[in-house]
Every structure is written in C-alpha cells, then in structure tokens.
C-alpha cells in the first residue's frame, strides 16, 4: 500500500499507558459496543470450552466503569511510531472518502475518533480488554485498538500485510457509518424485540461493515494507492475471520445458528462487492440477504 508517513491524525487519541478501569455494561444495550474481531474469537472459544453461550452476556446494561488509573505515557519505538502514522493515514483517508460521499448527498459526515490503548481501556460503552480486539463504540463515536492486535492478525489468523491491517480499521469505520445513519439503533431495537433473530441481524451488520470497508478500498484503488497483492491481503483477512473457519480452528463443528459475523465466503463476498462497485448503495445486506 502506497503511503507516506506524515505524523499523527488529529482524530487519533493516544491513551496507551492509562489503566482501563472496571469492566461493565458491554453489550448491545446502553449504547453497547460492536464486538471486535478478537473479542468474538475469545468468546467463541470460551463458549466451546465451558459449553455456555457467553454471547448472551452481551445484552443490555449501562456502563459501570471505575476510574482509570493514570500512569506515564508508554515510550514509543520508531517501529511503533511508524505503525501509529500508518493507522493515522488509513483513518484520515477513510474518513476523507466518507466526507466526500456524504457531501455528494448534501450531508455532513461527523468524523469518528480512533483511540490507541494497551491492555485495557475505558470507552463510552464500558471497560474493555485488549483481548477483545478492535471495536467501535457508538456511545462515544470512537474506534478502539491495541496495536498488538496486528501481531495476532499476522501470526494467529494468518493475515499479514498492511492492507489487511487497513481493512480492520475500515471495517470499524463502517460501523461508525452505520451508527451515523441510524442503522445501529434500528438493529439493536430489533434484536431486543426478537432475540431469536439477534445473531442473524448481527451477521448482517458485520457483513455490511465489510462491504463499506470495500467501498473505501475501491477509492484507494482508483487513486492508485494499492500495490500488487494488497487486495489479496484484505480478502485473506476477511476470510481468516469467518465464523465457520474460526469454529473449525476451535475444534468444533460448524454451526451457522451461532454465527455473529458471517462465514469466510460471506465476508469475502461482501468486501469484494464494495471493493468492485465503490457504491455504498450495494451494501444493504438487510434487503439483499446474506
């Protein structure tokens, strides 16, 4: 991916070195966070181990977070600073694309913030551990990410490459778009009124975020930012975190009824759909089916 280091984004908040406080109120109620890739993996594996549906714990509740413990900022190596500047580039580029998309419809795009943290963090949706992976919190319009996740993306999920890393950020910004457009509120209301279709709606949400990430990817290709192999990196990342693949890796049978993010095939299909069209109108997973 072609990019030039150029400092940190004005929309980036560096909270590394700050304690995360308690862990409360994480779910779809009370402005609940969109569960990140890593968090889904953790809950899925633990559900199999303890034979308990831990995803049911993600419902409702208001944030109940204790005060954060303060500490000195974490020293940043040259390699980490380069990664921070890459995250800043992707964040700004994606949001600039969506600013233009909204402007073409005569609307203003409210920019999201991206919070860097390590170990744990407080968000408007409650406290979160780095083990949950990147996530978006609609209550405070922020994406949260521990940079160590990118090591897991490469080593645990077999998805290396800078465009694979960019895909993760673009996916979370996709959740911000859903929040801005009111889709997030509508879905959570339907999940609460009919819990039987909660997982199905969650899958549609995640696949739509994949498609919206692809819309941004289309723009980068049009501007010749992509290099050979970049698209394959992102498609590999989308496939690596499909529910069916993760269930197989956990040593269990594939059970579509428990999916919350979609299969590898579905995730690749919807990311590619946005990537090839560049049109957010094709991302309506709720009408197109999954």
* pLDDT single digits (tens) 49-59: 333 344 444 44
Helix locations, the chain, DSSP H: 37-50, 78-104, 149-155, 162-180, 183-193, 198-222, 230-240, 243-249, 264-277, 285-288
Residues in the chain predicted with pLDDT less than 70, given as ranges, are 19-73, 241, 244-246, 249, 251-252, 289-290
Is residue 31 classed as helix, strand or coil in its secondary structure? coil
Which pLDDT does position 244 carry in this prediction?
62
pLDDT of residue 245: 64
**Maximum Cα–Cα distance across the chain:** 51
CA atoms within 13 A on the CB side of 262: 24
pLDDT at 158: 79
Residue ranges of domains in the chain: 12-288
The closest alpha carbon to 144, from 179, 173, 177, 181, belongs to 173
The pLDDT value given to residue 49: 37
**CB of 190 closer than 8 Å to CB of 63:** no
CB proximity list for 197: less than 8 A, separation 6 or greater: 190, 191
Polymer length of the chain: 290
pLDDT of residue 36: 57
pTM for this model (two decimals)? 0.81
pLDDT attached to residue 140: 97
């Amino acid at each position: 991916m072609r990019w030039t280091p150029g400092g940190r984004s004005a929309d980036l908040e560096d909270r590394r070195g700050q304690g995360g406080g308690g862990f409360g109120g994480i779910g779809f109620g009370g402005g609940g966070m969109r569960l990140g890739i890593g968090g889904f993996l953790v809950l899925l594996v633990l559900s199999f181990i303890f034979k308990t549906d831990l995803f049911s714990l993600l419902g409702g509740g208001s944030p109940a977070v204790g005060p954060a413990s303060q500490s000195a900022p974490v020293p940043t190596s040259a390699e980490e600073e380069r990664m921070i500047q890459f995250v800043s580039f992707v964040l700004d580029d994606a949001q600039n694309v969506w600013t233009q998309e909204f402007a073409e419809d005569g609307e203003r795009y409210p920019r999201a913030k991206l919070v860097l943290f390590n170990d744990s963090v407080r968000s408007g949706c409650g406290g979160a551990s780095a083990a949950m992976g990147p996530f978006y919190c609609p209550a405070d319009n922020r994406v949260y990410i521990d940079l160590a996740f990118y090591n897991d993306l490469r080593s645990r999920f077999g998805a290396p490459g800078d465009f694979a890393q960019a895909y993760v950020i673009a996916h979370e910004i996709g959740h911000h778009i859903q929040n801005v457009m009111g889709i997030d509120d509508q879905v959570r209301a339907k999940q609460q009124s009919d819990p039987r279709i909660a997982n199905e709606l969650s899958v549609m949400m995640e696949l739509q975020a994949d498609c919206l990430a692809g819309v941004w990817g289309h723009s980068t290709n049009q501007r010749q930012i992509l290099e050979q192999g970049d698209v394959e990196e992102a498609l590999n990342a989308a496939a690596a975190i499909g529910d069916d693949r993760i269930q197989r890796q956990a040593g269990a049978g594939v059970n579509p009824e428990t999916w919350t993010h979609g299969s590898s095939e579905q995730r690749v299909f919807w990311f590619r759909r946005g990537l090839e069209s560049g049109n957010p109108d094709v991302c309506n997973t709720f009408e197109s089916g999954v």
